């Protein structure tokens, strides 16, 4: 089958969401159009296949407000209808609820991928402190369950969360995001950094567990004095993290948000990658962090926690080391073990790369995603075929 489809994300496209572009550009049977409300500083999507609201005029800005309030935008409807998509695929449950009215007006099936906080944050928190789009998911969840064609969970952990919220078994599948294993490769023949370097990449928010890593590194540097920590990313916790690092006297560097090529070079140079994820106080958890896959693909030995979907990518003792959430003593032990044991680092690096090639390669995962698209389109055609002729002709 050859046809167009919509990949919907409100903001096109943050640096942390490379998986959306990888997914779209790996499709063979469909041509993706990237649709959202605005462009943001981050990953560039193909200009000729990108549709966003026009904010250059007062009318365009007022239409964005209308869209956020009601889910309806005449401009977006007109431009998306012109590309004649066979289906719409929204990333994140919040965006799925936002684009549901558009899918209904186009009479096209809607697929929604849930990635983490959209499936795990507690409703009472979202109602009290969530944004408009986050509150809409709570209000429209039953409608989304009823009208959505398929719900994709990026890990078994997220799948269980969706089932607990009342999403029907027959509409929920687990499908892992893939990464570009040709881009994320080990740099053969190039030695790692001279100093034993631990690398963290992620937003500075509670669920990433960066405070635990800083305190653990304080102990690590007493045992491995030459060790240093590099942190890539930004977020609301950054000022407090920088203050703690200074207070502890850590040998570390906060380098801010970085483009993908720079992240890859840091992954290739580091000795160990660490993502000590935790369950946040508002229920927010990981789905399955893409950066774990990127680290494994680059041949970087990895330490993470048994949080959410992380152990589905990092198998303890096989492709990395996994410790309990918030266990700083175990985190110190794992980091020191890897920094001191070169043979263990080599063994985990080889196994991690192999695991990503087999289970998380973008090209392979795209074939599975296309099979899901075809399944939904087949079901839609069958349902249309069962409707009375008068109903099928309406509109």
How far, in Å, are 31, 220, 245, 343 from residue 340 at the CA level? 48, 11, 23, 9
Instruction: Determine the topology of domain 197-358 in CATH.
Output: Rossmann fold (3.40.50)
- What does the domain layout of the chain look like in residue ranges? 3-178+361-393, 197-358
pLDDT (tens digit, 0 to 9) for every residue of the chain, 395 residues total? 689 999 999 999 998 898 999 999 999 999 999 999 999 988 999 999 999 987 777 777 788 888 887 888 899 999 999 999 999 999 999 999 999 999 999 999 999 999 999 999 999 999 999 888 899 999 999 999 999 999 999 999 999 999 999 999 999 999 999 999 999 999 876 667 789 999 999 999 999 999 999 999 999 999 999 999 999 999 999 999 999 999 999 999 999 999 899 999 999 999 999 999 999 999 999 999 999 999 999 999 999 999 999 999 999 999 999 999 999 999 999 999 999 999 999 999 999 999 999 999 999 999 999 999 999 999 876 665 555 543 332 33
Sort strands 11-12 and 50-52 into parallel, antiparallel or unpaired: unpaired
Residue 333 contacts residue 221 (beta carbons within 8 Å) = no
Fold match flag (3-178+361-393 vs 197-358): yes
In a 3-state reduction of DSSP, which class is residue 90?
A: strand
Rounded to the nearest angstrom, the gap between the alpha carbon of residue 174 and the centroid of all alpha carbons in its chain is 14
Q: At what angle do helices 290-297 and 342-359 cross, to 10 degrees?
A: 120
In a 3-state reduction of DSSP, which class is residue 93?
A: helix
The H or E element containing residue 303 is: strand 302-305
Q: Residue 151 and residue 96: Cα distance in Å, rounded?
A: 10
CATH of 3-178+361-393, one of 2.40.30.260, 3.30.70.1230, 3.90.1170.40, 3.40.50.2000: 3.40.50.2000
Q: Residue 155 and residue 314: Cα distance in Å, rounded?
A: 13
Spatial neighbors of 244 by CB under 8 A, at least 6 apart, are 211, 214, 215
Sign of CA dihedral 348, 365, 260, 184: positive
pLDDT of residue 193: 77
Q: How many CA atoms lie within 13 A of 4 on its CB side?
A: 13
């Amino acid at each position: 089958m050859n046809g167009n489809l919509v990949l919907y994300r409100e903001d096109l496209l943050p640096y942390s969401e490379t998986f959306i572009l990888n997914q779209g550009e790996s499709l063979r049977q469909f041509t993706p159009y990237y649709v959202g409300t605005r462009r943001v500083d981050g990953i560039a999507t193909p200009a000729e296949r990108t549709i966003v609201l026009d904010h250059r005029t007062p009318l365009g800005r007022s239409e964005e407000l209308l869209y956020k309030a009601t889910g309806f935008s005449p401009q977006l409807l007109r431009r998306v209808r012109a590309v004649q998509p066979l289906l719409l695929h929204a990333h994140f449950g919040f965006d799925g609820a936002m684009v549901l009215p558009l899918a209904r007006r186009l009479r096209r099936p809607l697929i929604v991928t849930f990635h983490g906080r959209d499936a795990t944050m507690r409703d009472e928190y979202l109602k009290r402190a969530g944004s408009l789009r986050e509150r809409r998911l709570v209000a429209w969840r039953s409608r989304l369950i009823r009208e959505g064609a398929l719900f994709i969970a990026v890990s078994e952990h997220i799948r269980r969360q969706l089932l607990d919220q009342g999403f029907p078994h027959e509409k929920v599948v687990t499908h892992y995001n893939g990464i570009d294993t040709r881009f994320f490769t080990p740099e053969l023949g190039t030695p790692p950094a001279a100093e034993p370097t631990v690398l963290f990449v992620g937003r500075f928010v509670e669920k990433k567990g960066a405070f635990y890593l800083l305190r653990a590194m304080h102990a690590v540097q007493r045992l491995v004095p030459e060790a240093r920590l590099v942190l890539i990313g930004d977020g609301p916790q950054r000022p407090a993290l920088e203050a703690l690092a200074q207070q502890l006297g850590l040998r570390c560097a906060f380098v801010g948000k970085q483009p993908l090529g720079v992240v890859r070079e840091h992954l290739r140079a580091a000795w160990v990658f660490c993502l000590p994820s935790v369950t946040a106080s508002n229920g927010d958890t990981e789905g399955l962090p893409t950066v774990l896959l990127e680290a494994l693909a680059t041949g970087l030995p990895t330490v993470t926690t048994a949080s959410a979907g992380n152990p589905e990518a990092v198998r303890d003792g096989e492709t990395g080391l996994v410790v309990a959430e918030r266990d700083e003593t175990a985190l110190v032990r794992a980091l020191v073990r890897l920094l001191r044991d070169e043979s263990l680092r080599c063994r985990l690096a080889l196994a991690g790369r192999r695991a990503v090639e087999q289970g998380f390669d973008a090209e392979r995962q795209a074939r599975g995603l296309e099979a899901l698209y075809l399944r939904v389109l087949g079901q839609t055609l069958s349902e249309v075929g069962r409707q009375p002729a008068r109903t099928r002709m309406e509109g």
